[in-house]
Chains A and B, each alone.
Chain A
Amino acid sequence: MEYTGAEIIIKTLIDEGVDTLFGYPGGAVIDIYNALYNYRDQIRHIRPSHEQGGAHAADGYSRSTGKTGVVLATSGPGATNLVTGIATAYMDSIPMVCITGNAASHLIGKDAFQEIDIFGATMSVTKHNFMITDIADLQDTIRRAFKIANSGRKGPVLIDVPKDFTQLKYPYEKKESLPIDGKHKIVQSDLEKFAEIINQAERPIIYAGGGINSSDSSQELRALMDKAMIPAVNTIMAIGVLGPLDQLNLGMVGMHGKNSSNYSIEHSDLVIALGTRFSDRVALNTKHFAPDAKIIQVDIDQSEIDKNVVVDFEIVGDLKEILAEILSLIEEKDRKDWLAQIEEFRKEDYQPPNGSDSIEPYKIIRHVAEYFGEDLIFVTDVGQHQMWTAQYCARTKPRTFLTSGGLGTMGFGFGASIGAKAGNPDKPVVLISGDGSFTMNMNELKTAVDHQINTITIILNNHALGMVRQWQNLLYDQRYSETDIDHSFDYVKLAEAFGAKGYSCATITEFKAAFADATTQNKPIIIEAIIDKDELVLPMIPAGGTVEDIIME
């Protein structure tokens, strides 16, 4: 039987298991929406206020569920509005399929109304992209997009569909989903050598990255840590993957990581890098990263080997498979001396000051984390609040901390929290944001209200673009150029205007009361917590620095 291209798109998405679609209607996709009308009981469609929010929502859905996020936008501005969202997903290797409409194919290249070369524009921020030139390719291309998004190192894929291909008819015979590939053949001798290096090390440390999430290998990682008593640090992309908060789980490393994590890397004789890319926020100074250590690496992406830091030995392949196979080759150890040394490092960890009723960010974050427990999904925007949340969120499960790590996209959070809640309706989702980030995409509050997606948003309001201001404070002679946000903004009225519930608090007692009340409400929540403008994210190692340069106050 013949279907329009629009119907083929929707049918293929359903057959790929898509049950949630983030999208925004427009002229070039009107036929796709017309087709969607017939399938609205099978696909939940969530319309953001702005396509960027839709892209972040699809991303947040994917990060929190492990499934592919799907976003649909019209041509021209609809498509370009996706770009920041796609780039955010690309930098953090998040599988997404993005479908854009475009002008009809006879108008392509003629500067038609709302025509844009989104194929060209997104080439460098997608794993791959397609432009449909034949309706016969439509189903195959969508299926290939899902395969590419999820094969090897994951990432976003875009399909641009000129309008006429949504209107033409073609037979639809359901095909199977394409198998995910990218499994590299693992050579036994490589595993043996890898294990031997680990067995010979006296002071090994695991440096775990977002690849542990992508490959779903958190349990395999923990088994390795426990068997050989290897302590581990994590990047911001790997918050939650190290499991229980114990002596082996050292927490976050890098610019705002724990002293003990950074010292442990510094003093180790072996760094075991798993699914991570030695970014400039961790290997702040690549020349002095782990100066006394051998470095070995496992990554699914060959191009991550020797990219930022040259390693001594590597295995390219799937982490889950490699960690599972290597376990039997790893010797049990107790590593008493090394762990004792790390306990000494821990004594030098930064402790936040404890004023009784003062409203420091860490108290807010700890309170929320303790209240909701391990299933809580924390989402952040970008800036100081992001780092405070990373430091104090105490996540012990994968996919419970969603943040824009690579691109550092302010405005990511609200859309992402909507996507996370849409994908996890039974789990609490709390966005910690800042006044700068929140106002970038606060229009998505409307989306949350419209779709009854009841997230809690806590705005740590320091009336400043805090992270830039912190750098100006510490590194630019307190010349606060354009980082003070002096306007008074009534977040309570704002929330009410959108149909959400708002609170404002200036002490921790007020915050706890507001939060307790918020948990009884059945609508999206905005809680403004007014914090000190001069609050710093500590510790801090300035860009390009080493542990010698740690700033503690």
Chain B
Amino acid sequence: MKVSMTVNGKGVERDVEPRMLLVHFLREELDMTGTKIGCDTSQCGACTVHLDGKALKSCTMLAVQADGADITTIEGLANGDLHVMQESFWENHGLQCGYCTPGMIMSTTALVQDNPNMSEGEIRHQLEGNLCRCTGYHNIVKAVQQASEKMGGGD
């Protein structure tokens, strides 16, 4: 089936099997391997991207369902240097092995945009869709708090 969408501001068109997952489309067809796969049951969140501005686990959608959509992946998040959330993860040691990180950053970026004034408890609760095995979440929470403060100014 023919599918076309905008990925990180660029129009793409491919002929794919109807069953192809969006995450495989990004990784295999477009060779954009920043988006990761950590499970097969939509728990881990490593594959989170933005679809029309909303965070979405790209393993939960077929590529053909994303026809016409506007997708942003970790590779396209920053407008220039680094996004505030990327900087905050770096500064606060919010990552170790880095495998959950692209999904974490995509997920929390959308989260903070929608909820700029979350408490620590709310951030922890909101992170339930993204799993990390290295950091104990401690510094991820700190990173989100810091980014949240910086993004509060209408970033």
> Are A and B part of the same complex?
no
